[in-house]
Amino acid sequence: MGIILRLTCAAIVLASAVSCLAADAPPRAKDGVLDLRGLDLAGIPPVELSGEWRFAWQEFEDPAQPSRAKGSISVPGAWNDASRPADGYGTYRLTVLCDPGNELGMLLPAANSAFRAYVNGREIAHQGEPGTFKEGTRPAVIRQMVKLGAQGCPFELALHVANFSHRQGGLVSAPRVGAYERVLRQREAGLTLDSSLIGSYILLALLTLLFYAMRRNDPTPLWLGLYCVAMLVHYELGKEGSWQHFMVGGEAPWERYRRIDALALCLGTPFLTLFISSLYPAVARRSVALAIAGVSALAALPVLVLPARLHSYFEPYVQVLAIAASLWMAGVLAL
């Protein structure tokens, strides 16, 4: 009877949580329109501009003119998820209805792999140089925060996006809009968290590598130190983009950025696997650890020799391998 009562209470709590989440679910765009009227943008986090955007494939529409696009596309998501090739270009457009009087800001994540963004026909940001063919497109990586200022409400957001450099094209992450102070606060909080993680990885990497330098007979701290270096590079390049402070114009060269980040992810798995194997030699089979490390290291070879357009096809396999290695390590730790 007690078990039934506990299960019933758990079901009620879960149902309540789900209903609360559903009630607080942010609005989504439909048919190229996102209605934010009635929302207290100064009191809530920036809203993700997700849902159905208007989309003109293989056309850069004039952002100052009404859209002629008859199609729509889901954001966030790659445009080749909708039976289009990865290579190409197009215009994304979204009308945002909001109450006047708010000083707005926008967070623009990196797209694949170049774009220009316009609000009410005025350019507000760009990533690389989008073009209608490969030679006329300059891919880059940058995450941006834009103060919309006097753009007012409602407003129309248009993006010219081009991709000839990745297996997935388009807006794979959605922009966010909100009261400027909230946008600024979220950006600063993200940078603070990134800086804390990066600082922790630097400290742990230095300590473990110095410890290994003094006691070379035990490779355990070496593997942990190298894993921390790999994660340090990944977090420095990813998330909020703290690396942008060291780049002229804030943009990172596409090929170099993608290669370094992919290498960090490829090498993080074998380093952590070898660390667990060395830490628990009585439980972890060394042959399994070496096999995982060897396959992970092999996955890094395409990253070294191929452009991002091609080595990005190996990313799903690297992720599957990382999941498999994590399950094996969890099993070792559970024994």
Q: What is the pLDDT of residues 296-331, one digit of tens each?
A: 888 899 999 999 999 999 989 989 999 999 999 999
3-state secondary structure of 36: coil
CATH number for the domain spanning 101: value is: 2.60.120.260
**pLDDT for residue 269 is more than 50:** yes
Centre a 10 Å sphere on the Cβ of residue 154 and count the other Cβ atoms it contains: 17
Token look-up 């628990």 returns: 280
Do residue 281 and residue 175 come from a single domain?
A: no
Provide the H-helix boundaries in the chain: 2-23, 180-214, 220-237, 254-279, 286-305, 308-311, 315-334
Angle, helices 220-237/180-214, rounded to nearest 10 degrees: 160
Q: Final residue of a domain: which of 120, 153, 179?
A: 179
Residue 68 lies in a domain: yes
pLDDT, one tens digit per residue, over 38-89 is: 999 889 999 999 999 999 999 999 999 998 888 899 999 999 977 899 999 9
Do residue 144 and residue 56 come from a single domain?
A: yes
Closest CA to 186 of 296, 107, 72: 107
Residue 103 lies in a domain: yes
Do residue 205 and residue 226 come from a single domain?
A: yes
Question: Interior CA angle at 161 toward 157 and 163, to 5°?
Answer: 165
Instruction: Provide the residue range defining the domain that includes 204.
Output: 184-334
Do residue 170 and residue 304 come from a single domain?
A: no
What's the confidence (pLDDT) of residue 6? Answer: 38
Closest CA to 128 of 94, 166, 83: 166
Task: Report the number of distinct structural domains present in the chain.
Answer: 2
Residue 10 lies in a domain: no
Q: What pTM did the predictor assign?
A: 0.84
Residue 145 lies in a domain: yes
- Sequence-separated (6 or more) residues with CB below 8 Å from residue 73: 52, 53, 55, 79, 82, 92, 170
pLDDT, one tens digit per residue, over 195-248 is: 888 899 999 999 999 999 999 999 999 999 999 999 988 877 765 555 554 554
Q: In terms of C-beta density within 10 A (0-12 exposed, 13-18 middle, 19 or more buried), how is residue 13 classed?
A: exposed
